[in-house]
Amino acid sequence: MNTTADNISGTQEIRFLTPIPVQARKKKYCRFKKLGIKYVDYKDPDFLLRFVNEQGKILPRRITGNSLKYQRKVAQAVKRARHLALLPFVTDLLK
């Protein structure tokens, strides 16, 4: 017997008509540590494009999965490549 006291106290279970999809996310990993890369080459724009979005902005760690150490190295390499005109500072469609 459902009463208003049961609904207020929260003893009744909440049921949905369709199950809520729960997706298992892949574990993010630092590709530099996994592949043993110690130096981020600023003269390789094809490699650096992986860490830049379509507008030319540097992607954050939470998206790329880089460790803090290598994210700083990537950011420095992208800035150096921009300064040497290997990568654009701003663009509409980079990729």
3-state SS assignment for residue 58 = strand
User: Nearest-5° angle of CA 30, CA 36, CA 42?
Assistant: 80
CB 78 within 8 A of CB 53: no
Confidence of residue 66 (pLDDT cuts 50, 70, 90): very high
Q: pLDDT (tens digit, 9 = 90+) per residue, 10-19? A: 667 777 677 6
How much is the pLDDT for 49?
93
Q: Is the pLDDT of residue 76 over 70?
A: yes
How much is the pLDDT for 65?
92
Better pLDDT: 21 or 53: 53
3-state SS assignment for residue 9 = helix
Stated pTM of the model: 0.70
Q: What is the mean pLDDT of the chain?
A: 85
How much is the pLDDT for 22?
72
Distance CA 89, CA 83 (A): 8
